[in-house]
């Protein structure tokens, strides 16, 4: 606790130099009042950039600490149903049953067995290799841990073909391995996790321009009260760093709020307290501000459809990729990270309070 307070004071001393920041002692006063009134600690004060001088005090009172946010989730999305979002096999089955566009499913792999999409058992990894030989249309595939989250364990792979030989190469690396060695090494690295393999999604050029190495996705917050129409609450774009396969903020990426009306990007936000907002991608040099994104109507329609098929669900965070053909669901989250409120620059109460009534 003392360490958190000390770090917060240091950040306030540093941030007071920002032209958009409150004076140092005003920041200290606000941290004290928020701790007393709503239990919102000094670390969260800086996590959500509440030192902004143009942010109304009433908005600051509307931010929730993690315990309150998870109490909200437990109320609106019963824990017994949240498991389907944590398990990619269950989630994918549900999406495909309702004909929701998602990445093509190729197979399921576990330590001792597996199955191709047509149900054929994978008795040896040679079966997987034979399927890849036959699917000459595949150039890239991705491995996803069945129980993974936040991009942990994700691996995007290029298929290298040389006559009748198939090798796999992780996109961020130079070394190629045959199918058996690659899969064995990957699973051993991730504690023999179960995996699903999907066709790699090629993103729309408008998204690739930000950072081509990562699949840059939209995070869409959607809410629906009982017997009411679904509502898109907020949308933000997640951009990865150069060489990274994943795009989330916790992996060093950026979040960019999307104007829901014109579907253009706003300022990019990072979790780096030394430079929380940027206009230009520091690795690619791409101007990330006021860029027009495609498929606005399609994204909203898809988002509203997905929440309608999820049982006992009031609030969901959708990860949506934009391909040249249109939006595709990457995954849905029934306990999306609360940090989205930071990117949107609105309080949890402003965004989610109506669902808790």
What is the chain's pLDDT, residue by residue, as a tens digit (357 residues)? 556 788 899 999 998 888 889 999 999 999 999 999 999 999 999 999 999 999 999 999 999 999 999 999 999 999 888 888 889 999 999 999 999 999 999 999 998 889 999 999 999 999 999 999 999 999 999 999 998 776 778 889 999 999 889 999 998 788 999 999 999 998 888 887 899 999 999 999 999 999 998 899 999 999 999 989 999 999 999 999 887 777 777 677 899 999 989 999 998 988 776 667 889 998 999 999 999 999 999 999 999 999 999 999 999 999 999 999 999 999 999 999 999 999 999 999 999 999 987
pLDDT of residue 84: 84
Helices (H) and strands (E) in the chain, counts: 13, 14
pLDDT of residue 192: 79
Decide if 351 contacts 342 (C-beta within 8 A).
Answer: no
| Residue tagged 């792979």 (tokens) | 157
pLDDT of residue 213: 87
For 7, 20, 183, the CA distances from 142, given in Å and listed in that order, are 40, 42, 12
Residues paired with 255 in a beta bridge: 238, 269
Distance CA 192, CA 65 (A): 35
pLDDT of residue 242: 86
pTM value is 0.92
pLDDT of residue 1: 58
Full set of structural domains in the chain with CATH: 2-63 (no CATH), 70-101+204-356 (3.30.470.20), 105-199 (no CATH)
pLDDT of residue 294: 97
Q: Which two tokens stand for residue 23?
A: 């004076």
Distance CA 215, CA 19 (A): 34
């Amino acid at each position: 606790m003392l360490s958190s307070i000390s770090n917060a004071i240091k950040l306030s001393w540093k941030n007071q130099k920002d032209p958009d920041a409150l004076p140092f002692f005003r920041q200290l006063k606000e941290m004290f009042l928020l701790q007393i009134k709503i239990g919102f600690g000094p670390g969260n004060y800086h996590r959500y950039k509440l030192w902004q001088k143009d942010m109304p005090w009433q908005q600051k009172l509307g931010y929730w600490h993690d315990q309150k946010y998870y109490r909200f989730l437990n109320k609106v999305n019963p824990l017994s149903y949240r498991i389907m979002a944590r398990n990619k096999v269950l989630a994918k089955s549900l999406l495909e049953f309702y004909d929701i566009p998602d990445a093509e499913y190729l197979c399921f792999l576990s330590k001792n067995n597996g199955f191709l999409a047509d149900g054929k058992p994978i008795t040896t990894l040679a079966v997987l290799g034979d399927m890849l030989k036959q699917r000459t249309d595949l150039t890239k595939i991705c491995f996803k841990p069945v129980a993974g989250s936040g991009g942990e364990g994700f691996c995007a792979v290029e298929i290298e073909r040389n006559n009748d030989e198939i090798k796999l190469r992780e996109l961020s690396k130079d070394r190629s391995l045959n199918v058996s060695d690659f899969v064995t090494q990957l699973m051993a690295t991730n504690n023999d996790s179960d995996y699903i393999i999907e066709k790699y999604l090629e993103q729309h050029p408008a998204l690739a321009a930000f950072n081509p190495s990562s699949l840059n996705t939209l995070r869409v917050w959607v809410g629906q009260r009982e017997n009411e129409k679904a509502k898109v609450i907020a949308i933000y774009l997640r951009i990865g760093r150069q060489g990274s396969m994943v795009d989330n903020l916790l992996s060093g990426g950026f979040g960019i709020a999307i104007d829901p009306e014109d579907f253009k990007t706003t300022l990019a936000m990072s979790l780096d307290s030394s430079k929380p907002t940027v206009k230009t991608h520091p690795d690619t040099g791409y101007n990330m501000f006021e860029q027009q994104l495609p498929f606005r109507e399609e994204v909203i329609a898809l988002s509203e459809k997905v929440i309608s098929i999820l049982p006992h669900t009031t609030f969901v965070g959708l990860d949506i990729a934009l391909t040249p053909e249109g939006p595709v669901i990457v995954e849905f989250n029934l306990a999306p990270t609360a940090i989205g409120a930071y990117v949107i620059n609105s309080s949890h109460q402003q965004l989610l309070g109506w669902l808790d009534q």
